[in-house]
């Protein structure tokens, strides 16, 4: 307890401490920004800030899906493969079958959604371990994307579609708009709806959740389906960005998404997560890439730096939280 | 007593401990003699558990000193404490379900032959200890195949088998029935005769008078006093604990009994058979019986957590069907589970979220939760239940046991049930909070709610129930009315007899 | 400061590989004569051919695998060979390739076509098969003991491709300027040799300055991010982006074009579908085609020579082709 149980008053000091505890990782972000800005003055230009915000959208969407799954005590390892499958479906239907862009996106995201739903059903209905289910489904999904394209890359020439990445709305690139809209929806869903509360309850104590009338089945199916939708949307941005649909993309993308979620305070024990925390985690991961590119860290060292920053940030966060035993 | 002249085995002086801004212990002391059973009394949050955790080295005091067995003492952790001669049996049992009894008893001090475990020798040693205790299971039985009471017994045997000079027992009887409790008391008397000191933490006054020699009382992190039990009355102790006199321990309010709310006909399921009863609006129906006699099993099945094999239920005259707890809650049947941490709370979520969880569907505005309204209503119900918390945004984890139980009750009150099933509603709750929970029950009944109370504590069953049903081996073996209990025609002995199936 | 250390390390690596390749080249010229072998090595009266791919997922390898499958299915039907393993998936993983090699030995293959994923790590697959007496033809890239253990290597010279990358930039940006380099997965032989070839030319042109050397892992998305980072840092000073493959260069070019910087020259190696298409429609100025199908055809010719008991060239080099709007149609 951070305040006196007798008076019942919450002091300003308590508020600051709880804010620090909740979003202490924000300090890490600020420190990173200052360090990068000192080493490379061009980092803080509006152009580069928009640039970073645009780049993080793909990992951002994946991170939200993983955050939900991890919060229920699970994990979704399919997101990288989902990127490939949705990309291949969009490419195949739009370029090779001449579907309208909108319909292709609907098909691609739809299939990703269905696979998310299947993951959820396997986990919730048959009580299989999320790790095992998604590890196996990931193989199925990537295999399917290879079957669809025969391993070949398909080019996307539809201007409307490639504009999803490059177009601007009121001067803001579309990926940022998509990311902001999704962030708001996710924030409202997790923190303002009963479904969000049920996610926390199932992750926090599944027996208590069931005893309080929560349907474990629909919560689990729900989060994996949402993870599928988000992976599909991320794939739409990815495909539009590279202009190419192929089955070998997205390998290892779950790593960055998990790292962002964990940096944002998502607990692997389940039941604890916040969307604002995830946003901070997403920005930190994005800044690691952008910052290293800006400073000019050699490619041979980038991977090491990334790993060390993640460990350091999580440790710092734990130190700052230590008083709240 | 002859020990009066002897030195203390444990002396704690001037112990203080703060967590963040909360002063959990303020300059407290404790003096325990060898061979005595020393009760620690106090409401939840009074500081008893914190002091014990300092003694076994789980926490470090901010100031103060301890002397154990004539030497300055400071444990670095539980293993260190055990090596010094202090064992503790925790209230929250933490059994490793996959271990055998022998493995559990010899955990962290296994028998070795070279680097290999000597299982045969370990089992033989364990078997001998078990036989000494008259514990009727082989040493290689898996813990998960034992009843909760037997797991408790294994914990006690483990503590005893470390050759401790002092054993701390934190609510050791909370999951034991009368017979098992008596068995435990025999064990305690044996230990006493061997000169082992026992620190006995319990909220059950009758037990304390039966087994303890002296008592130390704590309140709000302060030491209030120590005295021999023969010198103090029950009322004195309660006054010391709560700082005031509790006028009526069972504030039962007589209110008109209305129509039948819930009716069960010939229910059978796992652990109970052919159960029929009805409960009316405004009525508190008590379910007594031994632990494991099928009371909780019946209630879990009614609430939809377990299946029912046969039988019919009616709610307000309509057939009551439920596939899961969600169905029950929607129709107005709610249940306070006996296992607070297992089925009651998400400990790391806030009081607000825990309280509103079952009733969220009613607190929506469009797609979203009306958080302002939610906050207001949770604050109101917390106030009604006299919940002691700095803020409803704090985690349930930060509350004491009694206040956690109030959160569990609060969440069902928010759901406005027609029938509220309360399984062991005051387990692990201190005297002051118990009285508060009883008066809440009276109030809910007066508002027309039907209440089923399952309890192993006869005084509360007899003090609060309008009618008492007694279970014996999965069947109802007796029914008694309040009138007969109040008139003294039905005594504790009568109810116990039906619980043991001898009536 | 740090940069210079890195450059030294890089330099040392390059120097070592230069020496190594020089030795290899010397070796090849000496052994330039044609060779021949008995095709049915295990004498069971059957010719069994194995095919260990690099992977099934990379667009560059898709047409190679497709060509191999088409040819060998037909060859079995026509009785040229008795049996083949079908396409074995190497999953770009040396470990998996070594397992596939063991499968080929178990299946008593006589001839195996092998596309190593890694120079060093995949080498045990070759050694294992060669020691079992199998005639191994390495295609596309060499594993470490290729010269001693395989009977032939059909491939292209990735150093040459690196030269061509740099030369294109030098030719098209006469005034010089800043450029960035997007690497493949670090340690892949194609990444090492293309990078080396690129430096051979660029180091002789002081008017160019390499301002970024990114770990982009053959990933178009990461290359596009590197491009946008570089544009936001260097603006108009950035003139070119050299990529180890053209999946990355096409994504980078698209990023440049979307940012209104069509002037930036992006170039990479391979000639997979998307960059070829972009060259055709003019959004990418050029790409460098690694003639994968040409390589597999070279290997097929060797198999045919073996079966017919003829002699063959053990080291045919399949040249890289610069693809521009002028010749793109010939290769699509």
Give the residue ranges of DSSP H helices in chain C.
2-30, 61-78, 94-106, 123-131, 146-149, 158-172, 189-202, 220-234, 246-258, 273-281, 292-308
Asked whether the predicted pLDDT for residue B242 surpasses 50, the reply is yes
Give all domains of chain A, ordered by start, each with its CATH number: 54-319 (1.10.3470)
Based on the fold, state whether residues C178 and C85 are members of the same structural domain.
Answer: no
Interval B173-191 mean pLDDT: 82
| pLDDT confidence tier of residue A16, bands split at 50, 70 and 90 | low
Asked whether the predicted pLDDT for residue C9 surpasses 70, the reply is no
Asked whether the predicted pLDDT for residue B401 surpasses 60, the reply is yes
| pLDDT confidence tier of residue B20, bands split at 50, 70 and 90 | low
Q: Which of B454, B451, B482, B469 lies closest to B282, judged by CA? A: B451
Based on the fold, state whether residues C151 and C166 are members of the same structural domain.
Answer: no
**Angstroms from B443 CA to nearest CA on chain A:** 23
Residue of A nearest to B20 (CA): A2
What is the spatial distance between Cα C183 and Cα C195, in angstroms, rounded to a whole number?
8
| pLDDT confidence tier of residue B132, bands split at 50, 70 and 90 | confident
- Residue B28 phi, psi (nearest 5): -95, 160
Residues B270-283 have pLDDT tens digits of: 989 999 999 999 99
What is the spatial distance between Cα A190 and Cα A275, in angstroms, rounded to a whole number?
8
Residues A62-76 have pLDDT tens digits of: 999 999 999 999 999
If you search the block for the tokens 């620090």, which residue do you land on?
A20
Based on the fold, state whether residues C314 and C266 are members of the same structural domain.
Answer: no
Based on the fold, state whether residues C145 and C180 are members of the same structural domain.
Answer: no
3 state SS of C82? coil
Name the residue among A5, A204, A215 with its Cβ closest to that of B326.
A215
Chain B positions in Cβ-Cβ contact with residue A271 (cut-off 8 Å): 346, 348-349
Residues B455-472 have pLDDT tens digits of: 988 888 988 999 999 998
Tokens representing C238 are 């950035």
If you search the block for the tokens 């028998």, which residue do you land on?
B111
Q: Which of A20, A104, A112, A22 lies closest to A65, judged by CA? A: A112
Residues B363-372 have pLDDT tens digits of: 888 889 999 9
Asked whether the predicted pLDDT for residue C2 surpasses 60, the reply is no
Chain B positions in Cβ-Cβ contact with residue A209 (cut-off 8 Å): 346, 357
For C182, the domain range is: 158-289
Q: What's the total number of domains in chain C? A: 3
Identify the pLDDT of residue B362. 85
Between strands A168-169 and C269-270, the pairing is unpaired
What is the spatial distance between Cα B140 and Cα B143, in angstroms, rounded to a whole number?
9
Asked whether the predicted pLDDT for residue B4 surpasses 60, the reply is no
- Residue B439 phi, psi (nearest 5): -70, -30
Least confident piece of the model among A5-9, B237-241, C73-77? A5-9
Residues B71-110 have pLDDT tens digits of: 899 988 888 888 889 988 876 666 577 788 888 887 767 6
CB of B365 within 8 Å of any CB in chain A?
no
The reply to whether residue C233 touches residue A48, judged by beta carbons under 8 angstroms, is: yes
Asked whether the predicted pLDDT for residue A243 surpasses 90, the reply is no
Asked whether the predicted pLDDT for residue B134 surpasses 70, the reply is yes
pLDDT more than 70, % of chain A? 90
Name the residue among A40, A153, A303 with its Cβ closest to that of C215.
A303
Chain A positions in Cβ-Cβ contact with residue C259 (cut-off 8 Å): 166
The reply to whether residue A2 touches residue B388, judged by beta carbons under 8 angstroms, is: no
| pLDDT confidence tier of residue A296, bands split at 50, 70 and 90 | confident
Residues A147-166 have pLDDT tens digits of: 998 878 888 888 899 889 88
Give the residue ranges of DSSP H helices in A56-126.
57-71, 79-91, 101-126
| pLDDT confidence tier of residue A87, bands split at 50, 70 and 90 | very high
- Residue B405 phi, psi (nearest 5): -65, -35
| pLDDT confidence tier of residue B44, bands split at 50, 70 and 90 | low
Dump the DSSP string for B386-427.
T---S-TTSBGGGS-HHHHHHHHHHHHHHT--SEEEEESTTT
Residue of C nearest to A248 (CA): C57
Identify the pLDDT of residue A212. 93
C91 contacts: CB under 8 Å, gap ≥ 6: C55, C56
Q: A316 to each of A18, A28, A280, A322, C58, how far by Cα in Å?
A: 15, 8, 14, 10, 40
Q: Quick check: B241 and B46 in contact, CB under 8 A?
A: yes
Half-sphere exposure of C311 (CA within 13 A, CB side): 5
Based on the fold, state whether residues C82 and C191 are members of the same structural domain.
Answer: no
Q: Looking at the domain assignment, is residue C332 inside a domain? A: no
The structure's pTM equals 0.75
Residues C250-288 have pLDDT tens digits of: 999 999 999 999 999 999 999 988 999 999 999 999 999
Mutate to test the interface with A, among B21, B342, B414 (most CBs of A within 10 A): B21
Asked whether at least 3 C-beta pairs link C and B within 8 Å, the reply is no
Based on the fold, state whether residues C180 and C259 are members of the same structural domain.
Answer: yes
What is the spatial distance between Cα C75 and Cα B402, in angstroms, rounded to a whole number?
82
Q: Which of C69, C60, C137 lies closest to C291, judged by CA? A: C60
The reply to whether residue A197 touches residue B369, judged by beta carbons under 8 angstroms, is: yes
Identify the pLDDT of residue B111. 65
- Residue C168 phi, psi (nearest 5): -60, -40
CB of C56 within 8 Å of any CB in chain A?
yes
What is the spatial distance between Cα C121 and Cα B230, in angstroms, rounded to a whole number?
83
Q: Looking at the domain assignment, is residue C327 inside a domain? A: no
Identify the pLDDT of residue B6. 52
3 state SS of B110? coil
Q: Looking at the domain assignment, is residue C35 inside a domain? A: no
Between strands B333-336 and B284-289, the pairing is unpaired
Is 3.30.1150.10 the CATH classification of the domain at B2-242? no
Q: Looking at the domain assignment, is residue C271 inside a domain? A: yes
Interval A302-310 mean pLDDT: 83
Asked whether the predicted pLDDT for residue A108 surpasses 80, the reply is yes
Q: Quick check: C102 and C267 in contact, CB under 8 A?
A: no
Interval C69-79 mean pLDDT: 93
| pLDDT confidence tier of residue A3, bands split at 50, 70 and 90 | very low
Mutate to test the interface with A, among B339, B350, B357, B394 (most CBs of A within 10 A): B357
Name the residue among C2, C57, C232 with its Cβ closest to that of A51.
C232
Mean pLDDT of chain B: 86
Based on the fold, state whether residues C283 and C162 are members of the same structural domain.
Answer: yes
Based on the fold, state whether residues C150 and C266 are members of the same structural domain.
Answer: no
Chain C positions in Cβ-Cβ contact with residue A302 (cut-off 8 Å): 214-215
What is the spatial distance between Cα C162 and Cα C83, in angstroms, rounded to a whole number?
39
Tokens representing B417 are 């049930």
| pLDDT confidence tier of residue C312, bands split at 50, 70 and 90 | very high
What is the spatial distance between Cα A145 and Cα A83, in angstroms, rounded to a whole number?
10
Interval A266-293 mean pLDDT: 89
Name the residue among B357, B371, B389 with its Cβ closest to that of A201.
B357
Dump the DSSP string for A226-295.
HHHHHHHHHHHHHHHHHTEE-TT--TTHHHHHHHHHHHTT--TTSS---HHHHHHHHHHHHHHHHHHHHH
What is the spatial distance between Cα B455 and Cα B453, in angstroms, rounded to a whole number?
6
Chain A positions in Cβ-Cβ contact with residue B324 (cut-off 8 Å): 210, 213, 215
Q: What is the third-level CATH fold of B253-332+418-503?
A: Rossmann fold (3.40.50)
**Angstroms from C265 CA to nearest CA on chain A:** 16
Angle at B222 between CA B216 and CA B226, to 5 degrees: 20
Based on the fold, state whether residues C191 and C303 are members of the same structural domain.
Answer: no
Tokens representing C40 are 């049915």
Cα B478 to chain center, whole Å? 25
Q: Is B233 exposed, middle or buried (0-12, 13-18, 19+ CB in 10 A)?
A: exposed
The reply to whether residue C251 touches residue A58, judged by beta carbons under 8 angstroms, is: no
The reply to whether residue C251 touches residue A243, judged by beta carbons under 8 angstroms, is: yes
State whether the Cα torsion B471-B477-B479-B485 is positive or negative. negative
Q: Is A177 exposed, middle or buried (0-12, 13-18, 19+ CB in 10 A)?
A: middle
pLDDT more than 90, % of chain C? 61
Asked whether the predicted pLDDT for residue B2 surpasses 60, the reply is no
Interval C85-102 mean pLDDT: 86
| pLDDT confidence tier of residue A323, bands split at 50, 70 and 90 | very low
Name the residue among A3, A4, A204 with its Cβ closest to that of B349.
A204
3 state SS of A15? helix
3 state SS of A110? helix
Identify the pLDDT of residue A91. 93
Angle at B11 between CA B8 and CA B13, to 5 degrees: 150
Q: What secondary structure letter does DSSP report for A78?
A: T
Q: Domain extents for chain B?
A: 2-242, 253-332+418-503, 341-416
Write the ipTM. 0.83
Q: Which of C185, C277, C270, C216 lies closest to A243, judged by CA? A: C277
Based on the fold, state whether residues C229 and C248 are members of the same structural domain.
Answer: yes
Q: B365 to each of A197, A214, B368, how far by Cα in Å?
A: 15, 19, 5
What is the spatial distance between Cα A272 and Cα A204, in angstroms, rounded to a whole number?
7
pLDDT more than 90, % of chain A? 56
The reply to whether residue A5 touches residue B389, judged by beta carbons under 8 angstroms, is: yes
Say which residue, A209 or C18, is predicted with more confidence.
Answer: A209
Chain A positions in Cβ-Cβ contact with residue B368 (cut-off 8 Å): 188, 192-193
CATH number of the domain bearing residue C140: 3.40.50.2300
A22 contacts: CB under 8 Å, gap ≥ 6: A265, A274, A277
Q: Looking at the domain assignment, is residue C138 inside a domain? A: yes
Q: A142 to each of A81, A107, A146, A244, C57, how far by Cα in Å?
A: 5, 17, 6, 16, 9
pLDDT more than 90, % of chain B? 39
| pLDDT confidence tier of residue C13, bands split at 50, 70 and 90 | low
User: Which residues in chain C (288-327) have CB-CB distances under 8 A to chain A?
Assistant: none
Say which residue, A3 or A303, is predicted with more confidence.
Answer: A303
B116 contacts: CB under 8 Å, gap ≥ 6: none
Identify the pLDDT of residue B104. 81
Based on the fold, state whether residues C137 and C174 are members of the same structural domain.
Answer: no
């Amino acid at each position: 307890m951070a305040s006196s149980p007798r008076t019942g008053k919450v002091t300003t000091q308590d508020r600051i401490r709880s804010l620090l505890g909740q979003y202490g990782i924000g300090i890490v972000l600020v420190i990173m920004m200052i360090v990068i800005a000192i080493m490379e003055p061009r980092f803080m230009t509006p152009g580069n800030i928009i640039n970073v915000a645009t780049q993080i959208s793909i990992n951002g969407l994946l991170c939200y899906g993983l955050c939900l799954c991890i919060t229920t005590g699970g994990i979704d390892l399919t997101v990288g493969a989902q990127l490939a499958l949705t990309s291949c479906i969009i490419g195949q239907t739009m370029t090779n079958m001449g579907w309208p862009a909108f319909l292709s996106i609907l098909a691609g995201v739809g299939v990703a959604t269905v696979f998310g739903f299947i993951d959820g059903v396997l986990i919730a209905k048959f009580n299989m371990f999320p790790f095992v289910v998604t590890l196996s489904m990931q193989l199925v999904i990537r295999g399917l994307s290879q079957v669809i394209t025969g391993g070949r890359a398909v080019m996307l020439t539809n201007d409307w579609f490639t504009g999803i990445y490059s177009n601007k709305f009121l001067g803001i690139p579309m990926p940022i708009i998509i990311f902001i809209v999704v962030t708001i929806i996710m924030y409202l869903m997790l923190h303002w709806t009963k479904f969000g509360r049920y996610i926390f309850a199932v992750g926090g104590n599944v027996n208590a959740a069931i005893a309080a009338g929560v349907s474990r089945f629909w919560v689990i199916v729900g989060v994996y389906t949402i993870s599928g939708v988000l992976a599909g949307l991320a794939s739409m941005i990815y495909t539009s960005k590279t202009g190419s649909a192929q089955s070998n993309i997205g390998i290892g993308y779950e790593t960055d998404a998990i790292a962002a979620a964990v940096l944002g305070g998502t607990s692997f024990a389940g039941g604890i997560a916040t969307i604002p925390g995830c946003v901070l985690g997403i920005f930190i991961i994005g800044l690691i890439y952008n910052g290293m590119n800006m400073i000019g860290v050699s490619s041979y060292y980038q991977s090491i730096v990334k790993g060390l920053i993640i460990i350091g940030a999580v440790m710092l966060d734990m130190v700052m939280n230590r008083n709240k035993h | 007593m002859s020990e009066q002249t002897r030195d203390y085995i444990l002396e704690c002086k001037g112990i203080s401990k703060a967590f963040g801004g909360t002063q959990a212990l303020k300059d407290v002391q404790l003096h325990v003699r060898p061979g005595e059973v020393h009760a620690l009394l106090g409401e939840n949050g009074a500081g008893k558990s914190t002091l014990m955790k300092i003694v076994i080295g789980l926490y470090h005091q901010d100031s103060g000193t301890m002397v154990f067995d004539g030497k300055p003492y400071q444990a670095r952790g539980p293993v260190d404490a055990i090596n010094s001669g202090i064992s503790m049996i925790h209230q929250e049992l933490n059994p490793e379900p996959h271990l055998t009894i022998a493995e559990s008893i010899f955990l962290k001090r296994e028998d070795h032959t070279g680097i290999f475990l000597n299982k045969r020798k370990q089992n033989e040693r364990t078997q001998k200890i078990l036989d000494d205790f008259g514990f009727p299971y082989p040493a290689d039985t898996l813990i998960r195949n034992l009843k909760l009471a037997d797991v408790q017994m294994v914990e006690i045997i483990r503590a005893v088998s470390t050759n401790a000079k002092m054993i701390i027992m934190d609510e050791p009887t909370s999951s034991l029935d009368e017979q098992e409790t008596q068995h435990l008391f025999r064990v305690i008397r044996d230990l006493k005769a061997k000169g082992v000191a026992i620190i006995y933490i319990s909220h059950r006054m009758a037990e304390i008078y039966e087994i303890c020699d002296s008592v130390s009382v704590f309140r709000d992190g302060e030491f209030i006093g120590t005295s021999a039990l023969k010198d103090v009355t029950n009322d004195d102790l309660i006054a010391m604990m709560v700082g005031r006199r509790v006028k009526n321990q069972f504030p039962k309010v007589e209110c008109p009994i209305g129509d039948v709310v819930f009716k069960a006909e010939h229910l059978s399921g796992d652990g109970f058979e052919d159960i029929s009863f009805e409960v009316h609006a405004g009525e508190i129906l008590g379910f007594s019986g031994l632990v494991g006699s099928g009371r909780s099993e019946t209630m879990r099945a009614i609430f939809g957590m377990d299946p029912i094999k046969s039988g019919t239920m009616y709610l307000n005259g309509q057939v009551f069907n439920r596939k899961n707890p969600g169905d029950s809650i929607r129709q107005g049947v709610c249940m306070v589970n006996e296992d607070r941490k297992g089925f009651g709370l998400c400990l790391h979520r806030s009081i607000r979220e825990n309280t509103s969880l079952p009733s969220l569907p009613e607190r929506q505005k469009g797609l979203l939760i009306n958080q302002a309204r939610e906050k207001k209503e949770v604050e109101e119900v917390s106030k009604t239940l006299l919940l002691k918390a700095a803020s409803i945004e704090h985690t349930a984890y930060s509350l004491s046991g009694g206040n956690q139980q109030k959160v569990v009750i609060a969440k069902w009150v928010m759901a406005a049930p027609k029938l509220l099933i309360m399984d062991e509603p005051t387990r692990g709750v201190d005297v002051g909070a118990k009285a508060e929970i009883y008066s809440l029950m009276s109030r809910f009944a007066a508002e027309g709610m039907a209440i089923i109370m399952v309890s192993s504590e006869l005084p509360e069953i007899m003090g609060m129930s309008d009618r008492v049903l007694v279970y014996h081996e999965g069947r109802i073996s007796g029914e008694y009315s309040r009138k007969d209990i109040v008139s003294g025609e039905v005594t504790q002995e009568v109810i116990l007899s039906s619980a043991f199936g001898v009536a | 400061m740090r940069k210079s250390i890195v450059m030294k390390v890089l330099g040392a690596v390059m120097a070592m590989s230069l020496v190594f390749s020089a030795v290899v080249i010397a070796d090849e010229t000496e052994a330039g004569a044609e060779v021949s072998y008995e095709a049915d090595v295990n004498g069971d009266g059957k010719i069994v051919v194995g095919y260990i791919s690099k992977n099934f997922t990379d667009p560059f390898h898709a047409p190679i695998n497709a060509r191999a499958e088409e040819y060998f299915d037909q060859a079995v039907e026509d009785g040229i060979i008795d049996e083949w393993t079908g396409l074995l998936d190497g999953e770009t993983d040396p470990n998996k390739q070594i397992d596939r090699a063991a499968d080929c030995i178990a299946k008593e293959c006589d001839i195996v076509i092998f596309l190593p994923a890694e120079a060093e790590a995949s080498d045990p697959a070759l050694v294992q098969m060669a020691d079992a007496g199998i005639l191994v033809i390495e295609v596309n890239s060499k594993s470490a003991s290729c010269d001693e253990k395989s009977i032939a290597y059909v491939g292209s010279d990735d150093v040459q491709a690196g030269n061509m990358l740099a030369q294109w930039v030098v030719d098209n940006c006469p005034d010089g300027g800043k450029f960035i380099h997007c690497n493949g997965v670090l340690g892949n032989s194609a990444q090492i040799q293309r990078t080396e070839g690129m430096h051979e030319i660029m180091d002789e042109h002081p008017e160019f300055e390499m301002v970024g050397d990114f770990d982009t892992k053959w990933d178009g998305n990461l290359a596009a991010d590197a491009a946008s980072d570089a544009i936001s840092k260097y603006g108009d000073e950035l003139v070119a982006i050299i990529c180890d493959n053209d999946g990355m260069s096409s994504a980078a070019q698209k990023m440049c074009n979307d940012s209104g910087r069509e002037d930036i020259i992006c170039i990479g190696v391979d000639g997979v579908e998307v960059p070829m298409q972009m060259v055709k429609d003019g959004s990418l100025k050029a790409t460098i085609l690694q003639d994968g199908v040409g390589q597999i055809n070279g290997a097929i010719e060797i198999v045919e020579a073996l079966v017919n008991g003829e002699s063959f060239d053990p080291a045919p080099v399949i040249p890289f082709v610069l693809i521009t709007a002028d010749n793109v149609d010939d290769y699509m």
